[in-house]
Amino acid sequence: MPRRTAKWLTCLALALSASGWSGCDTIRTPGIESLQTPAARQSINPGINDPYLQPDVDPDVWAERFEVESREVFAAREAIADALQLSPGMRVADVGAGTGLFVPLLASRVGTSGRVYGVDIVPAFVAHIDRRARAAGLTQVRATLCSEDSVDLSAASVDLVFVCDTYHHFEYPSATLASIHAALVDGGELVVLDFERIPGVSSDWILGHVRAGREVFQSEIEAAGFELVEEISTVPLRENYMLRFRKLAS
């Protein structure tokens, strides 16, 4: 078994044991087939997710970092959620949901007739999302554990996929995008919000942390079978950009 897969499974076992998480119906472990693909064997950004995959990762500590007014996407969270243009009954996946910042915002917009998948590779984060949703009575939320090269959602199961400050964390963007394409209905949308990476303009942290700028990310997404619909300009963002794509027919 590859070292990273062993670490992922160890984190899963420890997180579920510690949390008493009851959302076991949402767990999918990576299949042998996906682990043997070339994309899965060669990470495009090795180690970027290692801080989150430690056995002792604490979601509450990360929530204190993710959910603060000094973080641009947190300050603009309502405007971002509005810009997704969700409506009651829609099925949406928040891929790279982290500690679940956007999950309740999405749930309130799709209503009880809709579905929100809070998707992440970190078992402790998924358990945290599950507890958070249950405490708030959000029955339309499904906390969903995915693998490093797939969102692990059923085919044509969602109308929109939202990826916030997470695309640059995709170690296997080609394989992950293929799984997103498969999970979307025909004509479904992918909305990506990520950091502007502009040498001489962006912070040193962004330049060191984010592997490429929006042009590269856009070209990768388009190569995966999506077309750019618009750059969303209704949200007051300075450090980030927000792009809406539509799934092309397979």
d(CA 226, CA 110) in angstroms, rounded, equals 24
Name the region of 100 (left: φ>0; alpha: ψ -120 to 50; beta: rest).
left
Q: DSSP of the chain, one letter per residue?
A: --HHHHHHHHHHHHHHHHHT---GGG--PPPHHHHTSHHHHS-SSTTTTGGGSSTT--HHHHHHHHSSTTSHHHHTHHHHHHHT---TT-EEEEET-TTTSSHHHHHHHH-TTSEEEEEES-HHHHHHHHHHHHHHT-TTEEEEE-BTTB----TT-EEEEEEES-GGG-SSHHHHHHHHHHHEEEEEEEEEEEE---TTTS-HHHHHH--S-HHHHHHHHHHTTEEEEEE--SS--SSEEEEEEEEPP-
Average pLDDT per block of 10 residues along the chain, 250 residues long: 44 44 42 42 86 93 92 96 98 97 98 98 97 98 97 98 97 96 98 97 95 97 98 96 94
pLDDT of residue 81: 98
Range of the domain at 42: 3-247
pLDDT of residue 32: 30
pLDDT of residue 41: 55
* CB-based contact 69:75 (threshold 8 Å): yes
pLDDT of residue 223: 97
d(CA 102, CA 104) in angstroms, rounded, equals 6
d(CA 138, CA 159) in angstroms, rounded, equals 19
Q: Which residues contact 26 (CB under 8 A, 6 or more apart)?
A: 126, 130, 142, 143, 144, 145
Number of domains present in the structure of the chain:
1
Q: How far is CA 116 from CA 95, 105, 128, 140, in A?
A: 10, 10, 15, 6
CATH code of the domain containing 226:
3.40.50.150
Task: From 49, 39, 174, select the one nearest 122 (Cα to Cα).
Answer: 49
